[in-house]
Chain A
Amino acid sequence: MSVLIFVAKLIAGGALLCLGVLLALLYEGVDRIISARMQRRFGPPLLQPFYDVLKLLGKESIVPRRAVVWAFNGAPWMALVTALMVFLYIPMGALPPILGSEGDLILITYLLALSAVALVVGGFASGSPYANVGSQREMVLMMSYELPLALVISTMAWLAYRRGIPGPAFSLETFSSLSLWNTVGWIGTLGLLSLLLALLAVVPAEVGKVPMDIAEAKTEILEGLISEYSGRNLALLKLTYSVRTLALCAVVVALFFPWSLGKAMGFSGVGLFVIDFIWFWIKTFIVQTVGVTTVRTAFGRFKIWQAARFYWVQVGGLALAGMLLLTLEVAIY
């Protein structure tokens, strides 16, 4: 029996990871088109990210003379695999996460952090001053956004626990089974809203997009920590950035927008699973368009100390305010 479950999970997981990669690239294509239309341009073809990755896979992968070879070549794999693994822990609509019993929200934050660390290691290992600067910036950025991120996640878990939602507090399945928005009054709604905003503010930094593409900063340090990568390694890194964007948006959806379309339409059984699965990816797409595409089109790039201050003071303050509001909510009601 357990062997059967293992095999089933293996197949489902493999399929899900393939789907994750395909969707990530597809969504990036749409993201580029939407951004272009906002700037009154036409933009690339929808499948451009696929062409880019395929082309890069066929190119020579150059390792700089001064690079630490194993770390330089290993980092892209590490970054991609850890980012992809996040999908295994996210419930997609009515579908429970494939490895739901093996990991929770804390593991997801660590996986995302590990993916960023792998990029940093790759940057330091390339032996290029640009990559070095990029890696330093990425580290500073990570230290900056981890505070609001941790605040948001722990507050959400605490609220779920206090509201008596069944299931382990940090498990994402808990959040998707019942929307937290329904369990709170207006103070709590305000609190949840500030947490959502804080989390959305963290998204650009996690996925390395403007205004937080400081570690890559094309016009400043020539793509920073990925400046020495080429060929297959660069294809992997491109995939990593797309996958991280999609994964993080999926986490936001699972945390804050668990509303089921299938149930509202009165579906059950397989129909419910299918409808909610598709609905989940539509919601993810909306979050990505609002949280990544619009933001990256509307703003310029921060400097690293400005970004650090932004996350520690403004976003940190917002997350803290959300935490206090929710505490107040729980204390009153």
Chain B
Amino acid sequence: MAVGEAKTYKIPIGPVHVGLKEPITTWLEVDGERIVDIKVRPGAIHRGIEFMARERNPIQVIYLAERICGICSFAHIESFVRAVEDAASISVPKRAQYIRTIMLELERVHSHILWAGVACYTFGYDSAFNLGLLLREKVMDVLEAISGNRVNYGVGTIGGVRRDITPEAATALEDMLDYYRREFAAFYEVATEDPITKARMRHVGTLPPEDAVRYCAVGPTARASGLRVDLRWSSPYEAYADIEVTPIVPQDYMGEVYGDVFDRFLVRVLEVYQSLDIIEKALLGLPEGPLMAEPKLPKLLALLKAADGVGWSSIEAPRGDDTHVIKLTKGDENVTWWKVRAPTYANIVSWPIMFRGQEIADAPLIVNSIDPCISCMERALVVDKKSGSSEVLTKEELLKRSREKTRRLMGR
């Protein structure tokens, strides 16, 4: 409690904290309850997955990519296999594309519901948290019905998918669509019409549109700031080209945009409904045909061994753009190098903007508001510009260092 002079003290949120799902440290410089400045210190859960991939062939790396993250595991393998398909020029059968789309949207539904529940938990609204997790069980059951697994589904493979949407699975899916259209509104109302929820989320962690552009926010974080960015809309992949997808921005629904935590909440909740529509359309238009371009694994491996070049893919994961770049060398069975750029990596840079002038009570909520996936992200060091120290990494510097690292990896 500084009286007269500006004396501040430091409080760490993390690396392990009740309000966080994954380890990351945020050092808050506070004056009483007010946050003056923050420093983000990642690095607690770096696992060197990209390095491990260099001793494996692309089919083995699928399962490694799936384990980058437990929530958006299909998004990562989707992006990875698309990058490999790009490098090896493999075209995917139509039916597989639709099944991939359905899986991606199912994953988005469970990720967003989980996030909304956890956001409520962060400010002590345990009932909404429990309700959210109860609702999420349905989509987990459907994922299990399709793939046999609740978390890492093992559905995607290079050149197609490994699991079909059987008639039983289709029934389960339709059942789920009905269930969510009926039940999810309750959660939406509980969370949005509660005065305390509104008081805790409105005008908290605001990210203005211009800052969202400057700090390269992606996914729901950018959309909540009013930017119309959605890769499903701007560069459609898989079945999204057949299905109309428009980015969900708060101004279309609420009339105005604040870019605060409430808007992020709203965007995610509305995206659940959007995903339900996409699943329904994909299910209706599910074409007949083979599931894989090349079902015989040795033959596929031989094809990949012969491939030479860099493959690139960027998809809209639940948290934003997930980009994978891969290099395959002719005659080399293993992946030459592989680069993952998870959405949290881009979004986390906006934290200092969101934090400035907020209170300690808001800190875990703001941290969670971008839906951080730390184990996806662990790559670099981010420091607030305001601290003015030599550690500052500007965007250009980050870009330069990334290029240097890539060159080093490529052995030039």
Chain A interface residues (CB < 8 Å from chain B): 38-41, 129-130, 133, 136-137, 210-211, 213-214, 217-222, 297-306
Q: Does B295 contact A (CB under 8 A)?
A: no
Chain A residues with CB below 8 A from B199, complex form: 302-303, 306
Chain A residues with CB below 8 A from B10, complex form: 129
Chain A residues with CB below 8 A from B127, complex form: 38-39, 297-298
Q: How far is the CB of B200 from chain A (nearest CB, A)?
A: 6
Q: Do B18 and A218 touch across chains, with their CB atoms under 8 A apart?
A: yes
Which B residues from 179 to 195 make CB contacts under 8 A with A? 194
Within 8 Å by CB of B196, from A136, A218, A302, lies A302
Q: How far is the CB of A295 from chain B (nearest CB, A)?
A: 11
Q: How far is the CB of B266 from chain A (nearest CB, A)?
A: 16
Chain B residues with CB below 8 A from A306, complex form: 199
Q: Do A211 and B360 touch across chains, with their CB atoms under 8 A apart?
A: no
Q: Do B363 and A220 touch across chains, with their CB atoms under 8 A apart?
A: yes
Which B residues from 14 to 56 make CB contacts under 8 A with A? 17-19, 30, 32-33
Q: Do B126 and A210 touch across chains, with their CB atoms under 8 A apart?
A: yes
Q: How far is the CB of B13 from chain A (nearest CB, A)?
A: 9
Q: Do A219 and B123 touch across chains, with their CB atoms under 8 A apart?
A: yes
Q: Do A219 and B131 touch across chains, with their CB atoms under 8 A apart?
A: no
Q: How far is the CB of A202 from chain B (nearest CB, A)?
A: 17
What are 9 sample pairs from A and B whose C-beta atoms fall under 8 A apart? A41-B130, A133-B11, A133-B30, A133-B360, A137-B33, A219-B19, A220-B19, A220-B360, A303-B362
Q: Residue on B with the closest CB to A216?
A: B124
Number of B residues with CB within 8 Å of any CB on chain A: 33
B99-136 interface code vs A (CB 8 A; 1 in, 0 out): 00000000000000000000011111111101100100
B56-85 interface code vs A (CB 8 A; 1 in, 0 out): 000000000000000000000000000000
B contacts with A: majority SS: helix
Q: Does B398 contact A (CB under 8 A)?
A: no
Q: Do A129 and B9 touch across chains, with their CB atoms under 8 A apart?
A: yes
Q: Given contacts A299-B125, A301-B125, could you give 4 more A-B pairs where the C-beta distance is less than 8 Å?
A: A218-B18, A297-B127, A304-B33, A304-B361
Within 8 Å by CB of B200, from A40, A136, A137, A301, lies A301
Which B residues from 149 to 207 make CB contacts under 8 A with A? 194, 196-197, 199-200
Q: How far is the CB of A85 from chain B (nearest CB, A)?
A: 30
Q: How far is the CB of B154 from chain A (nearest CB, A)?
A: 31
Q: Do A221 and B123 touch across chains, with their CB atoms under 8 A apart?
A: no
Q: Do B200 and A221 touch across chains, with their CB atoms under 8 A apart?
A: no
With A39-B127, A136-B32 already in contact, the answer to whether A303 and B200 are too (CB < 8 A) is: yes
Chain B residues with CB below 8 A from A221, complex form: 360
Q: Does B380 contact A (CB under 8 A)?
A: no
With A129-B11, A130-B11 already in contact, the answer to whether A220 and B361 are too (CB < 8 A) is: yes
In the docked arrangement, what's the CA distance between A305 and B199, Å?
11
Chain B residues with CB below 8 A from A40, complex form: 130-131, 134
Q: Does B364 contact A (CB under 8 A)?
A: yes
In the docked arrangement, what's the CA distance between A39 and B127, Å?
5
Q: How far is the CB of B240 from chain A (nearest CB, A)?
A: 36
Q: Do B194 and A220 touch across chains, with their CB atoms under 8 A apart?
A: no
Q: Does B306 contact A (CB under 8 A)?
A: no
